[in-house]
Every structure is written in structure tokens, then in C-alpha cells.
Structure 1
Amino acid sequence: MNLPAMILPRVYLKNIKRSFHSSQKYYVKHRNPFVRTWETLFKDVKAGLNMDTNPVYPEHADVVIVGGGFIGASAAYWLKTRAGKGLSVIVLEKDPMYTNNHKMLSHGVLTQHFSLAENIYLSQFSAEFFRNIKEHLGDNVDLQYCPIGQLLLASDKYVEKLEQNVDAQKDYGIRSKLLTIQEIQDRYPWINASDIKLGCIGTESEGVFNATELLRGYIQKSQELGANFIKSEVIGFEMEVQRDVLMEGIEPGSFQKINRLLYKTDDDEIHSLKFAACVIAAGSEATNIAKLAKIGTSKGLLKEHLPIEKREYNIYSVENAKSEMAVGLDSPFVMDTSGLWLRRNGLQNNLVCGQIPSIKQDSGYSDTEVFQASLLNRYPHLKDSEIKVVSTEVTDCNTYDDTGIIGPHPYHSNLIFATGFGRQGVQHSPGIGRAVAELVIDCQYNGIDFTRYGFDRILINEPLIETNVY
């Protein structure tokens, strides 16, 4: 299948409202602890790319995806699902063992708590995708979805916004219930609600899942369908002048078309790859990739940089908590509007928790003493517990408005962004990947309209704020 060298301009479509509901319940499969541990370790190893000992480095591809994480692998899956052998898809990933993607304890969360319509549609689509995960990704994918729900706690500052969001979500079929302070204390006596004014808990399509297993499923299925994953690092783009192209704001005869990239493999060999469309799904590395295409380093439409930065934050384990104030197996994933979160670690006796970093921070939230003070204020019964760092997670943050960017660049119209979704990128990856496939194959959005999520909003300074991102 030969795609046109330029993706057609966006088509402004009406949002297709979809609500996915089901009374179906999900249960974690319980196995012998030793067997379960061994299988987990084995799957972690298998989650990496199935690398060929004698890799082939093609010189041409219809679509090249830079970044093989959740969104990149999802895009590869949807492209190959729709087009099959008619579309050649290459995924370039520099870390085939996905060092930063394993055991993402704060990312494997499905929630419906959003204010933007696009995010609501994405979460609803993900709920349906997860219900039918084996039909999509294969029988051996065990998502381990557990429908524990999510409890959102709002301080006085966020009460009005929480009420507005809950009212708005009803229009999309989202089922949730507002809880008073007394109801919170009665249901969850282990929570200190003295500085809380209101709570909200979802009643369906919310819970936790194994993020690593979802990624493995994407990679495995897209490779089965013919996607070619290559361990490599993108080091540049090649452009050619198109003197017959006229574009507003561009000097006549100076437009440069991007149609080839350069990447380096482990043996320090540099390869050239000609493409029709390129998808940048490189997470926190997306800004550096964009700079290779002169985005943010030139003038006119190329003046504004891609505002994506890396954020790191610690994940903590709480052990030896008091049994009389135990967080039960049916306790929800608890999230403050401050970004503090906590949940039980499945059937284990410990809790896992963390603090989502602020968009304004230039470094990760790593001050353990400050975090512990916030944690013990909300959960005072943990004061005698052992609290230790178990991992550090990395995510991409859009420092412009903290909302994802998806769609072609206004200058390089065959360069498609799919980045900046932060923690939501994992749970939203089914819908984001599908949207990328629609842009490439149909040159428009057919499902969820992401026009507002485009790079254009940065050029015209119209931020898109998600007021209930936690």
C-alpha cells in the first residue's frame, strides 16, 4: 500500500459519543504463589521485543513509529489490524527491554474521572477494549483487571469543580456517587477526612490492571501481524525542498518536505529509512526527536517547540500496617486532588502509594520526608509502618497544559504526534493508537475527534485543561 507523501489536513468532525457499560465482573486468577511469581518474572522477560538475531533494516516503509511503548505499540497494532500486509509498519525502539515500563504500579489504573469529553471517550473505549482484551491481543494475555473502583478526595478548593464534573459526566453515561465526609468516614475509617470536603467514587469501569501485560500484548500481536520492531535510536531527518509548495507564513520556494529519517543501531551503523508517514510516540524523548525536524529551532510554523518533558517520581511500599485499620481487598484506589494516591497491592499484605509530580516541577517528586508527612496526614494509622521506596517511575509531561498532543504538525503534515499524555497514556493507549491509525489510513478521525488535541493549540495559545486529571 503506497500512502501519499503528505497527510491530508484535519477534518473537523463531530464527536461520536459512546458509552460502554457492562455488568460483567472480573476476577483475578489465583495460582500457587510460587507459580504466580515465576510466571510474572517470565512474562517480564518476554515483554521485551522479539528481536531477530539477523535483523533486516528496510530502506522503505509506509509508516515508521518512533517509540515502541504503550502508545507506539498500540498504534502499530491498530495499523496492522486494519491494513494487514497492505501497510508496512516499522517501530524504532532504543530500549527493547522497556526498562522504564516494567512494574508501573501507578500507571495500570482505569478511571472515568475526567472533565474533557475526549478523555471520557478514551476511558470508555479502554473499558470496552479491556473487556474484550483476548479478542484483540490473544488468549495468552492476562490483564489481571481488578474492578476495585477509584475514590477521589477533594479539598475545599476543588469541591465545586468536582460537583460540576460529576454532573457533566452523567451526560456521557458515567456512573459515580458523591460521598459526604460522614459517608467517607463510615466506609473507610482508615482515611483522615478532616481536611476533605467531598468525595466521589465510580460505580463501574474503574479498577487496576497489569500495565506490563498490556504492553506485552500490544507488542506480541503487532509483531504477529507483521510489524517490524527494530532496536535503534533516531539521530536525524532528511528533508528536500519543494519549490512548488505554497504555504501561509512560508517564503515561496522554501518549503522543505520531510520524508526520510536516519537511525543508529547497536553496532553504530547508521541506516536511512524513507517513509510516507512518521509517528512520534517517544514519550519524554519526543521533544528531542521533534528538534531533529527543526521543530522549535527554526521560525514561522516551526518556531514553537514540542513542550514535553520527563517527570520522575518515587513509588513507595507501606508494610506492617496496623491490622485493626487494614485496607481491605475491596478497598478502592484512593486519589487526592493533591496527587497523593494509595492502594492495596493485590493479595499481598503491603500497600503501594506515591505522589504525582506537578506540571511546574522541573524534577521528580523525590523528597521522601515531605511525601511521608502528606501520607501520614491522610492515613495516620500508618505512622508505625515501614515506608520505603520500591521503584522510580518515568512519564512524559506536557508542560504547556498537561494534556496530550495528538495529530500532524502544521508544517510537517506527515509527522504525527502521539505524546504528552502522562500517566493517562497507559489506560488511554487503545483509543490513542486507534486514532493514529485513522489519521494515517483515513486522513481523518472516525471515532473520537481529537482535533482539539492537536499541536495547533500551542501556536494559537489555546490551552486545553483537564480539571480532573487525577
Structure 2
Amino acid sequence: MLSVKFFNHIVHANKNILRPYSNNILNLCIRHYRKDNPFVKTWKVVAKDVPEFLGINKRSTIYPEHVDIVIIGGGFIGSATAYWLKKRAADGLSIVVLEKDITYTNIQNNISLGTLTRHFSLPENFYLSQYGTEFIRTAKENLGNDVDVQYNPNGYLVLAGEKYADKLEETVTIQKEYGFKNELLTSDEIKIRYPWINTKDVQLGCIGLESEGVINPWALLKGFMQKSQQLGTIYINGEVVGFEMEKQRDVLMEGVAPGTFEKISRVIYRTPDNEEHTIKFAACILAAGHKSGEIAKLAKVGQSDGLLSIPLPIESREYEVYSIENEAKKTGLNTPVIMDTSGLWLRRNGLDDNLFCGLVPLMAEDSKTLSKEDYYKNIIEPSLNNRFPNTIGTQVRTFSSELQDCNTYDDTGILGPHPYHNNLYIAAGFGKYGS
């Protein structure tokens, strides 16, 4: 769901009017893997190709002085936005993507688990997930014949205890009205199908029968970057360090003193050789993940008064992904992605012998003060051992640390124009779900 509540919060506090905006964002997330992950192995194979398809080795770097749209951040959301804008407008829009790591050398720190799910309760998310999964199924047609996202439709099982069973049943009914194919399972039916799951405190489960599973997210990101550049997008290796503003004395805005309104008109960025450049733009899209809040400050968001008094509530949340060794053989090849009642998730690591698990980052402030060891002992381990008793006494190791851009206001994505800077569009805070 999109964080309309956050924009309304700014508007209500300053008595202004929110102008909504929408766009298609894929259901993806930010991740960090160690070197032995198969996605990282894929990256090592294709890393040498990145400068080639971005044109770094083919020509001198172009530093445009003005464009229609500047996108800050060349990850999943930024690159997908560039692709769709160029797909729809072609040469009608000039677009630059500013990315700190243009060769994606540190892509290992931002690789997704690539999980696809359609378990949502709002029509907006139904449409997004339907469109997104269909796009991924036809990735070769959309992005190029060399793009193989390695889609594995192994399903996604959501579990519900007594407290949320009615809500899950209601959601499934709505989903079916929108053409979703899924199946409600009782506690006994779950136990028969997946005997390694403890279902004593589970009342209902729901598993999708299509369009759910996992993909290779690096292949998808590479496809978006490559295709958007073929369509004319320019990628520049640069770190945003500021904005330039222009006085617009004829603009009247409630809550802003007449003659004092300032519009952001240029972005200032620094290249790796420490040179600074500026680009004049008509619109800027901020899709810099967990860095979005800090970059927004450069446009005085949260640093002034009135409509600029409230900061963009995006921060980084780090949490661990754990590997349960030698357990995949017991659960079988048809192991779905599982979302537990506690927020714990579990999935198989491809054809390897281990399982991955983790917990959706908690928003509670007290969880931030726990050490990684205490977090595992007090939060992860009890949930893991309760739902999957076979893991008791097995070897569980920390596999990686993951970063998510979390919206601390209401834990949903923020998508739309800032109420003051109406040419600054925010696309951040989607965290694990991306929609």
C-alpha cells in the first residue's frame, strides 16, 4: 500500500492540499548476500559486462546540462522507472539516472532474495502484483532475449492463527473476485501436505496456485538497466550533494509567505574524480532507497518550517538472513516460501541443501537496542523452533545482513510528489515488499 497517510500528515499539519501521483513499482526489495550465494556467483560472471552495456568503455562520459527528468538512484525502482518513462515517451523525454556505483561493484550488498507474492488485501496491490508477475513471466519479450530471470513458481504459503484467520479468509475471498487462483488450507490439510510444519497454533493457511515463487533479481535489474539505456536513458556515476533553488515570487501557496516560494531546479552531483556538475531538470524522482531521507534534506525537507518542517521518514533497517544447514532434503523440492504468523519467513535455497529464514524488520523501538545474538535468541529462534520443530538442535548460521528502506511513519511505501516541492517525486520506503 502507498503511504498516502504520510502525505496527508504533512498536508493536515500545514493545511495544504495533496496532489496524488501514482506509478508502477515492481514487488522487489533490497538484500545483502555473502560471496557463496548463487546470485553473487551470477554477478561475478556478468560484472565485466556492466561497463560495456552501460557504455562506459565505449565513449567519453556525457554530463548533460539539462534534462526533462533526473532519477536519483539506479537500483530496482530507479531503473524500472527510467524504463517505463522511456517506454511510454521514447524520445519525448530526456532522462538521466544518477547512481553512486555506476559499475555496480557493490551489487553484492544490494541483491534481493527475489520473492514474488500476491498475498495482498488492497485492490491497488492486486493490480500491481498481477501486472508485475505477468511482466516477469514475459521478461524476454519486454527486456530482451538475453534476459533470463530464472522464475521458479514454487508458491507462497501464508499462515494465520486464530486472531487473523477470519481476516485471511476474507482476503482470499476478495482475491478470488479479482481472478487470483489460491487455496485455503485448514490446519490438518497443511499438516498432511507439509508434515514438517507444526500447525498446533495455526488455524488457516493460504497458498497461491500461480504467479508466486522466486526469481534471479540481479538478472531483472540488469535487464531494466540495459533496456532503459537502449531506449535513451543516460546513466551517470555521481553522488548527489545538493540542489539549487530558484525564487518564484508569483507562486502562491497556503502556508508559504508570498514571494518566498523556492522551486528546486538543479541537482548538484559529484563524480568519482571529485568534480561537481549540475543538471537542470523539470522533475526529479528520488529513488535512493534508505539514503532517500538524507538526500531529501539537501532540498530542505525537514530542515525548514511549514511544509518543509517534516522530514522524509525513511531510514535503513538492517536484519539478518539465516541459513539452516542440511534441512532442505527433509522439506523437499516443492517447499514454498512460507510466511509465519510471527513474521518469520522461510524458503529453500534453490537446489542446495540449506533453507533460508529471517524476520520482517520490527518497527518497535526496543528491537533496535538488541544485539544480533539477543535478537536471534529472543525473537528468531523461538519462532523458528515453534513452527519448524526439525530445526531444534540443527546448525543455524548467519548467512548475510540485509538492508531495507523503511518508512518509519506507517511502514508502507511513499510514492508521489512532495507537498512543497511539487516537482520532486518520492519513490522510497518500500522495504521488503516494494508495493
TM-score range, shorter chain: 0.7 to 0.9
1:135-185 per-position Cα deviation (integer Å, ceiling 9, x unaligned): 111111111111111000112222222122212222222222211110111
Partner residue, 2:354? 350
Per-residue deviation, 1:115:
1.2
CA deviation profile, 1:31-80 (whole Å, cap 9, x unmatched)? xxxx9997563135546783625322111111100011100000111112
- Cα 1:157/1:333, change in 2 over 3 Å: same
Cα distance per residue 1:105-158 (max 9 Å; x no partner): 53x111110112221111011011012111111111111111111000112222
Q: Are residues 1:388 and 2:405 paired?
A: no
Distance 1:39 1:109, change over 3 A: closer
> Letter of the aligned partner of 1:117 in structure 2?
P
- Per the alignment, residue 46 of structure 2 pairs with 43
In the alignment, the residues of structure 1 paired with residue 254 and residue 205 of structure 2 have an alpha-carbon distance, to the nearest angstrom, of 50
Counterpart-to-counterpart distance in 1, 2:354 and 2:79: 32
The one-letter amino acid of 2:333's match is: L
**Alignment correspondent of 1:419:** 428
Match of 2:376 in 1: 368
Residues of 2 paired with 1:224 and 1:88: CA distance? 13
Counterpart for residue 151 of structure 1: 157
1:142/1:12 Cα in 2 relative to 1: closer, same or farther (>3 Å)? closer
Q: CA deviation at 1:403?
A: 1.3
Correspondence 1:10-409 to 2 at 5 A: 10=19, 41-43=44-46, 46=49, 50=54, 52=56, 54-96=60-102, 97=104, 99=106, 104-106=111-113, 108-321=114-327, 323=329, 326-361=330-365, 363=368, 366=372, 367-370=375-378, 371-409=380-418
Alpha-carbon distance in 1 for matches of 2:191, 2:226: 45
Q: Within 2, Cα distance between the matches of 1:400 and 1:253? A: 32
Q: 1:334: Cα distance to partner?
A: 0.7
**Structure 1 residue 336: Cα displacement:** 1.1
Contact 1:67 1:280 in 2 (8 A): yes
Q: Structure 1 residues 376, 45: CA separation in 2 closer, same or farther (over 3 Å shift)?
A: farther
Output the CA distance in 2 between the equivalents of 1:69 and 1:39: 17
Contact 1:62 1:275 in 2 (8 A): yes
User: What is the CA–CA distance in structure 1 between the aligned matches of 2:39 and 2:251, rounded to whole Å?
Assistant: 59
**TM-score, normalised relative to structure 2:** 0.85
- SS in structure 1 at match of 2:279: strand
Show the counterpart of 1:27: none
**What is the rounded CA distance, in whole Å, between the counterparts of 1:81 and 1:415 in structure 2?**
21
2:14 counterpart residue number: none
Cα drift, residue 420 of structure 1: 1.0
- Distance between the aligned counterparts of 1:112 and 1:364, measured in 2? 33
2:422 partner amino acid: S
Whole-angstrom CA distance in 2 between matches of 1:186 and 1:87: 55
User: How many residues align structurally?
Assistant: 396
> Structure 2 vs 1, CA of residues 322 and 249 (structure 1 numbering), >3 Å: closer, same or farther?
closer
Structure 1 spans left out of the alignment, 5+ residues: 1-8, 17-34, 429-470
Structure 1 CA distance, aligned partners of 2:63 and 2:328?
A: 57
* Distance (Å, rounded) in 2 between the aligned partners of 1:413 and 1:389: 43
| Matches of 2:214 and 2:247, distance apart in 1 | 49
Q: Among the aligned pairs, what percent are the same residue?
A: 53
Give the CA deviation at 1:263: 0.7
2:29 counterpart residue number: none
* Unaligned 5+ runs, structure 2: 1-17, 25-37
Cα pair 1:343 1:351 within 8 Å, conserved? yes
Contact 1:311 1:364 (C-alpha < 8 Å) held by counterparts: no
- Which amino acid in structure 1 is aligned with residue 180 of structure 2? I
Assess, with a 3 A threshold, how the Cα gap between structure 1 residues 263 and 154 changes in structure 2: closer, same or farther: same
Q: Secondary structure at the match of 2:174?
A: helix
Aligned position for 1:435: none
Give the secondary-structure state (helix, strand or coil) at the position aligned to 1:284: helix
Contact 1:100 1:393 in 2 (8 A): no
Please identify, of 74-83 and 352-361, the stretch whose mean Cα deviation from structure 2 is larger.
352-361
- Contact (CA 8 Å) 1:284, 1:397: kept in 2 or not? yes
Distance 1:46 1:380, change over 3 A: farther
Aligned 8 A contact 1:359 1:399 in 2: yes
CA RMSD of aligned residues (A): 2.5
Task: For 1:207 and 1:328, locate their aligned partners in 2 and report how far apart those are by CA, in whole Å.
Answer: 15
Residue 47 of structure 1 contacts residue 213 of structure 1 at CA under 8 Å; is this kept in 2? no
The answer to whether the Cα contact below 8 Å between 2:197 and 2:387 also exists between their aligned partners in 1 is yes
CA contact (8 A) 1:102 1:212 kept: no
Post-superposition offset of 1:103: 7.1
Deviation at 1:100? 5.5
* C-alpha distance in structure 2 between counterparts of 1:292 and 1:419, whole Å: 16
C-alpha distance in structure 1 between counterparts of 2:409 and 2:174, whole Å: 25
Rounded Cα–Cα distance in structure 2 between residues aligned with 1:414 and 1:368: 43
Q: Distance in 2 between matches of 1:256 and 1:40?
A: 43
SS in 2 for 1:312: strand
Aligned in 2, Cα 1:386/1:51: closer, same or farther, shift over 3 Å? farther
